[in-house]
A = this chain, B = another copy of it.
Amino acid sequence: MQTSTRERIVVATARLLQRQGYVGTGIKQIAKESQATLGSIYHFFPGGKEAVAVAAIRHGDQEFAALLKESLDSEPDPAEAVLSCTRELAAGLKESGWVDGCPVTAAALETLGVESDLQQACADALNGWERLVRDKLLGCGFAADDARELATTVISAIEGAEVTAQVNRSEEPLLAVGRQLARLIRSYGIDPPRR
């Protein structure tokens, strides 16, 4: 067996969570989709459904962080980097038939009322992504306050643009937001570092 049963469960759950949320995803559906059985799931995750979801959210977190980091590292100019990131997200979203959106938003919104590990995992993911953007901006010479506000704006706007793109089944919202974010970053008039 190439991939462990545990890993198959986590990956399948991550995909299901981003498509139909936490409440909409059943343990038995996870079992079927991951080619595992109920016994296996409860063996690896004695915490039940929520424990599986937490692991899946963390998986989606790392996956998106890797994509984001790759985009940010590929371009020295932060404005270009954000553009490249939105382009990549738009392409991926279209390819999935507009269903594979942000891996944490759906789950996060459903578990807001209750204090849970799941909610914490979602918050950690969002804040981690924001930190990646902030560090990039700091490395390009932005002031600390500007970098922080811009990072929050970039992540929030991308988050919202992904939802808008999904609902309208169109790449345009993501691309338009990418262009405007690039303009906003450039408006600070900081020269991009040359390689």
Contacts and interface: CB of A to CB of B under 8 A. Distances in A.
Interface in A1-39: 19-21, 23-24
Interface residues of A, number: 47
A152 B180 CA distance: 10
Most chain-B Cβ atoms within 10 A of its Cβ — which of A20, A150, A164? A164
A21 B108 CA distance: 11
Contacts of A152: 161, 164, 172-173, 176-177
A180 B152 CA distance: 10
How many copies of this chain? Answer: 2
B112 A101 contact: yes
Contact of A109 (B109, B126, B153, B161): B109
B184 A112 contact: no
A159 B166 CA distance: 13
Interface of A: 19-21, 23-24, 98-99, 101, 105-106, 108-110, 112-113, 119, 122-123, 126-127, 148-150, 152-153, 155-161, 163-164, 166-168, 172-173, 176-177, 179-181, 183-184, 187
